[in-house]
Amino acid sequence: MTQNGDEGLPDTSATSMHRQSPESRALLERVLSYSRDRMAHNQPLDAPLSPEELATRIPQTITPDGLGGDKALRIFENTLAPSCISSDHPGFLSFIPNAATEAATMFDLVVSASSIYGGSWMEGAGAVYAENEVLRWLASEVGLPPGAGGVFAQGGTIGNLSALVAARHSAQAKRTASGRSLPSRWMIACSSEAHSSLRTAATVMDVDLLPVPVANDGQLTRKSLESALNAQPDGGANVFAVVATAGTTNLGLIDDLEGIGALAEERDLWFHIDGAYGLAGILVPELKPLFRGAERADSFIVDPHKWLFTPFDACALVYRDPSIAYRAHSQHAEYLDTLENDALWNPSDYSIQLTRRARGLPLWFSLATHGTKKYREAIAATAETAQAVSRVIRETPHLELVAEPTLSVVAFTRVGWSAEQYNHWSQKLLTSGVGFVTPSSHRGKPILRFAIINPLSTLDVLRPILDTLAD
């Protein structure tokens, strides 16, 4: 009907969405201009509206004939975006904030415009090459050997799950090869303080979780792990992996990586480190000793969208021996044969996803632009801010530290406050546009926590938030 190439193509309604027109160019300028403004770091904190409130403020947006880009963009800009909390706002201190560098954010736009299939070398060689350079750098910082490698997966939940799937596959293969029987239920050991995504992984894998109680300091030690394993009916023979957390989300605590890693080796258990938030701290020379033993890991994750300053969403998942992960994750299908029959690096072979955005490229671009030194400095600066905040808290009679900050999470209480008072204060702080600090809990008691990963969350920003806790 038509020839290839723009000249011969009639402007039918089927092609009109894909071909550029003066109107679409104008819309592109407005979208880029919106993005430019949004990246200026002067966005308000904003707060969510209820479904009912949103329904009264915006018309039906999905219609047979479309609203036109201008109108749709206005609805986003005026109503939808302001009803999303800006997780890069310096006052955003809940959960783990997001604080992408300008370079990383701008490159996310480039990735979006580039239509790169990041699942295979054949299609995305250049992108995969650059991503792998970043993964190798992270692996060497953690102390893994040069053969280590992996993939940028979607997030820590998928990263943990993928690593544990590889771990079980490996345990199963080893037992089968040596003629031993397989346990009726496999088990993963981790600290009772470990992230909820490990329970999710266990559920998805249909294995059990062995949450090991921790001592008062919240750290999982070799000793407690050993007694928990020994207390199992079969002495822990059905455990195939142990997960240590390097930076708990709630308090930023780091498990005894050295002791746990050594025990895992003695018992031939897969040693996985969940460093989604905290492992980035290993890049700071002063913090590095806290991560002693990390080099023993069979696999680790760290989320660049947390303390490595990239936009949502990315998880660096690295294996000591990627060939093990390959055997667990490589997908086989006739239409994939051409991808399989080469020895090249296909990222889809290392996690449970096939099609993949080249989501490591924003970090690559930012690192290539700024160099690793600036990263170390920015991470160190946020850890120093956490120390400064904890000094202010120590000097304030109505505030009490829950623990000395290990990394960049400061957990504290307002003396004498009930859960209700915390909630009321938190709501008021958000609606006033000053900060977002949701109450958390520790050993059944309500606490407040500042998760400081944004270099713009300086003491000057945080002190006024502490001041509001006076009354």
What is the Cβ-side half-sphere exposure of residue 224, based on CA atoms within 13 angstroms?
20
Cis before 313 (ω within 30): yes
* Binding region for ligand PLP (CB under 6 A) out of 105-113, 274-282, 376-384, 437-445: 274-282
8 A C-beta contact, residue 250 and residue 409? yes
In 3D, which of 115, 155, 107, 150 has the Cα closest to residue 132? 150
CA 22 to chain centre: 40
Range 424-453, binding ligand PLP (CB under 6 A): none
Size of the site for ligand PLP (CB under 6 A): 13
Q: Does 156 bind ligand PLP (CB under 6 A)?
A: yes
* Binding region for ligand PLP (CB under 6 A) out of 135-143, 149-157, 208-216, 367-375: 149-157
Q: Does 360 bind ligand PLP (CB under 6 A)?
A: no
Q: Does 106 bind ligand PLP (CB under 6 A)?
A: no
For the chain, what is the largest distance between any 2 Cα atoms, rounded to a whole number of angstroms? Answer: 80
Q: Whole-angstrom Cα distance, residue 384 to residue 284?
A: 11
Q: Which is nearer to ligand PLP, 163 or 462 (CB)?
A: 163
Q: Among residues 132, 249, 346, 457, which is the contact residue for ligand PLP, using CB under 6 A?
A: 249
**Shortest reach from residue 323's CB to ligand PLP, in Å:** 25
Q: Which is nearer to ligand PLP, 304 or 322 (CB)?
A: 304
Q: Whole-angstrom Cα distance, residue 294 to residue 271?
A: 9
Phi, psi for residue 223 in degrees, rounded to 5: -65, -50
Q: Whole-angstrom Cα distance, residue 331 to residue 224?
A: 38
Q: Among residues 86, 101, 120, 197, which is the contact residue for ligand PLP, using CB under 6 A?
A: 197
Q: Does 195 bind ligand PLP (CB under 6 A)?
A: yes
CA distances from 73 to 15, 28, 38, 52, 68 (A): 22, 11, 14, 21, 9
Q: Does 245 bind ligand PLP (CB under 6 A)?
A: yes
Q: Does 274 bind ligand PLP (CB under 6 A)?
A: yes
Q: Among residues 106, 229, 263, 276, which is the contact residue for ligand PLP, using CB under 6 A?
A: 276
Nearest to ligand PLP by Cβ — which residue?
156
Q: Does 243 bind ligand PLP (CB under 6 A)?
A: no
Rg, the chain, Cα only: 24
Residue bearing tokens 């109505």: 398
8 A C-beta contact, residue 132 and residue 370? no
**Shortest reach from residue 196's CB to ligand PLP, in Å:** 8
**Shortest reach from residue 313's CB to ligand PLP, in Å:** 6
Q: Does 259 bind ligand PLP (CB under 6 A)?
A: no
**Shortest reach from residue 1's CB to ligand PLP, in Å:** 47
8 A C-beta contact, residue 278 and residue 452? no
By the criterion CB under 6 A, which residues form the site for ligand PLP? 96, 155-157, 195, 197, 245, 249, 274, 276-277, 303, 315
